[in-house]
Amino acid sequence: NAGVTQTPKFRILKIGQSMTLQCTQDMNHNYMYWYRQDPGMGLKLIYYSVGAGITDKGEVPNGYNVSRSTTEDFPLRLELAAPSQTSVYFCASSLRAITDTQYFGPGTRLTVL
Amino acid sequence: ELKVEQNPLFLSMQEGKNYTIYCNYSTTSDRLYWYRQDPGKSLESLFVLLSNGAVKQEGRLMASLDTKARLSTLHITAAVHDLSATYFCAVDMRSGGGADGLTFGKGTHLIIQP
């Protein structure tokens, strides 16, 4: 039982490039989330999903896209990377509603130059 | 817009001392969460508080929730070095009419010195 896994751990992008951050959970959780954490700040919700095929925007969705084709996977795509997207990205999951504990992945540290 | 404020943001304390971290939030909610983050690491869930008056304890940490005051506290008893970390509180975003996610405070960076 690996919990929530994310790849890659580190990535450097050039402005205008695109990439996909991968997130997989093996706990059969329905809810999955993407957050970003800027230095010295709390986490901000980018997108979330309440089940396969259902996604919705969080606080800061601009510049990102998501999909949820399976229960296990919730990839986050960055289109046309910008320096403002330099951050640490965390994926999380919970079994049911928000009242359940959210389990976080190890994070992806992204730098856009 | 839901706002979550923690204080202090930085705290240096000695081993053996007691201290409290405060978390205030701006809209009515009866769901509050505490997380711990070690440097360069992910977030670890500490407590989930789901009702007014909820109190939970784990080792030297105790969390409480007062929904009427919109306040949660994280109390540290007889601090030890291993508790050095950044502590975040977070509130259910739906409390502020938002998404199914959490709004986090900026975190309290806690250093415990021998």
pLDDT at A53: 94
Chain B's closest residue to A100, CA to CA, is: B48
pLDDT at A96: 79
Which residues in chain A come in under a pLDDT of 70? 98-99
Interacting residues of A101 by C-beta distance below 8 A, sequence separation 6+: A94, B33, B45, B48
pLDDT at B114: 85
Q: pLDDT for A15-40, tens place per residue?
A: 999 999 999 999 999 999 999 999 88
pLDDT at B100: 76
Does A95 reach chain B within 8 Å, measured CB to CB? no
Does A41 reach chain B within 8 Å, measured CB to CB? yes
Cα distances from B44 to residues A9, A45, A92, in angstroms, run 18, 17, 11
**Cα(A94)–Cα(A103) distance, integer angstroms:** 6
Most B CBs within 10 Å: which of A46, A102, A103, as the mutation test of the B interface? A102
Chain B nearest-CA distance from A83, in A, is 21
DSSP per-residue codes, chain B = ---EEEE-SEEEEETT--EEEEEEESS--S-EEEEEE-TTS-EEEEEEE-STT-EEEETTEEEEEETTTTEEEEEE-S--GGG-EEEEEEEEGGGGT--SSEEE---EEEEEE-
| B75, B79, B85, B86: CA torsion to nearest 10 | 20
Question: What is chain B's pLDDT, residue by residue, as a tens digit (114 residues)?
Answer: 788 999 999 999 999 999 999 999 998 877 899 999 999 899 999 999 988 888 999 999 999 999 999 999 999 999 999 999 999 999 987 766 777 788 999 999 999 998
Does A90 reach chain B within 8 Å, measured CB to CB? yes
CB-CB under 8 Å, A48 with B100: yes
Does A39 reach chain B within 8 Å, measured CB to CB? no
**Cα(B22)–Cα(A106) distance, integer angstroms:** 27
Percent of chain A clearing pLDDT 90 (strictly above): 86
Residues of B with CB under 8 A from a CB of A: 4, 31, 33, 41-45, 48, 50, 88, 90, 92-94, 98-107
